[in-house]
Every structure is written in C-alpha cells, then in structure tokens.
Amino acid sequence: MDSLEIKELQSLHEIMDAFPVMNQLRTHLDAETYLELVLEAKEKDSYKLVALMDQEEIVAVIGFKPMITLYYGRFVWICDLVTHTNKRSKGYGEKLLTYVHKWAKDNNYESVALSSGLQRTDAHRFYEEKMDYDKVSFVFKSSLI
C-alpha cells in the first residue's frame, strides 16, 4: 500500500476522473448530471470529493460535507463512499473513512454520520464491525417529482 495517496478533487478534470468509480454507486447519474451536482454541492454545501489513488488510478471515492443539526450537533455527513468493484476488500474504504474522521476532528466536528441503502448488507457489516458505527435511525424519503 506504499503507492496510495489521498487527494481532494478540485478541478473539473479531477472530478470527472472520479465519475467511473462514483457511477458504480450512483448508477442513476450520467456524467453531465454528476458534474453539475458535484459543482453545486461544492459551492452551496461545502461538499468535498476525495479520492484514494493507487499509482495515479482512482480506486475509491468519498464525498462528504460538514453539517449542523439539533439532533447530531456539529457533524460530518458522508454523502458517498464507493470502492471500485475490482478493488474491494483491500482496506480502501477504511482509509477514506479514517481520513474523514481525522478531517472532522481537525475541524472541530463531533461525529460522522451516513445512511446506507437497506440492500447493502456488506456495507452495513463494514460500518458496524470494522468501523464501529452504530445504527441510530432509519432514513425516510418522499419524492416530490
């Protein structure tokens, strides 16, 4: 793992380089919509997109943003976390979550939270057993379209 580098993606080119990996999680997005949403989230929500690179290849991506709510207080919300399908079970997700935990502590946030689709049982096991996350709520959604 000596060749691993964590890098915040800033330029349009860097953000688009992450699309093939992000698209494995966010399959409903085309490249244009992805770019539009990332740029808007960066501008309006302080969204950060970070990649784990292995020899200059993006192998995993995490998107997160700082938030404040009455329930969680000051916390960081993980919006997206995905490791390339062919690169899973190598500790890449753990490395990116650990990076966000450190970022949160360094920036005076109290916790890190995320939601995960009900069908993602492997991810749930990872969050609970490997990363020591607690299940604290259900997330509900109402579509307005």
Digit-coded pLDDT (tens) for 38-50: 999 999 999 999 9
Could you identify the residue written with the tokens 């698209």? 23
pLDDT in tens, 16-26: 999 999 999 99
CATH number at residue 34: 3.40.630.30
Does some domain include residue 100? yes
- Residue-wise DSSP of 47-112: -EEEEEEETTEEEEEEEEEEEEETTTEEEEEEEEEEE-GGG-SSSHHHHHHHHHHHHHHHTT--EE
Q: Taking the model in full, what pTM does it have?
A: 0.91
pLDDT band at 3 (very low <50, low <70, confident <90, very high): confident
> Is 125 part of any domain?
yes
Does residue 135 sit within a domain? Answer: no
CA 63 and chain centroid, separation? 3
Q: Is residue 71 part of a domain?
A: yes
Range of the domain at 25: 4-130
Query: Quick check: is 141 in a domain?
Result: no
Please report whether residue 92 resides in a domain. Answer: yes
Q: What total number of domains does the chain contain?
A: 1
